[in-house]
Amino acid sequence: MHTVYKAISPEEMDRILAYCKQHAFFEIYPGEEGSQKMVIISSGKENEPLENFKPLGSFYCNYLGEGIISLDQEESDYDAMPSAQKHVASIKQVIDILIEKAHSGVQLQFPV
């Protein structure tokens, strides 16, 4: 089950997905409908081989509606382990950076 994290314009969503497609830190998978996407965030260094990257978590685009960024509710509500809470906080931080700064040609630094 998904929970809404942010609502953005369809143009902003397209910009974020375009940025993610261009960078190795992100993997994008299509959902059941054409505009739905799952984005997996990986941590690592840009110059490392891809096999050294480690998945941090994921977020979903357009699953709950056009322009909605959502998180898996099980992932975001799972508070039995402090490390799970840190992962969710890191995912949210990456999303916020993408919304604010992800434009073509920009090289972003993520805190993960």
Torsion of CA 78, 80, 83, 88, to 10 degrees: 20
User: What pLDDT is recorded for position 76?
Assistant: 45
- Is the CB of residue 43 less than 8 Å from the CB of residue 112? yes
- Is the CB of residue 42 less than 8 Å from the CB of residue 54? yes
In this prediction the pTM is 0.83
- What is the CB neighbour count within 10 angstroms for residue 25? 20
Q: Tell me: the pLDDT tens digits for 8-41? A: 999 999 999 999 999 888 999 998 888 899 999 9
Partnered with residue 7 across adjacent β-strands are: 68
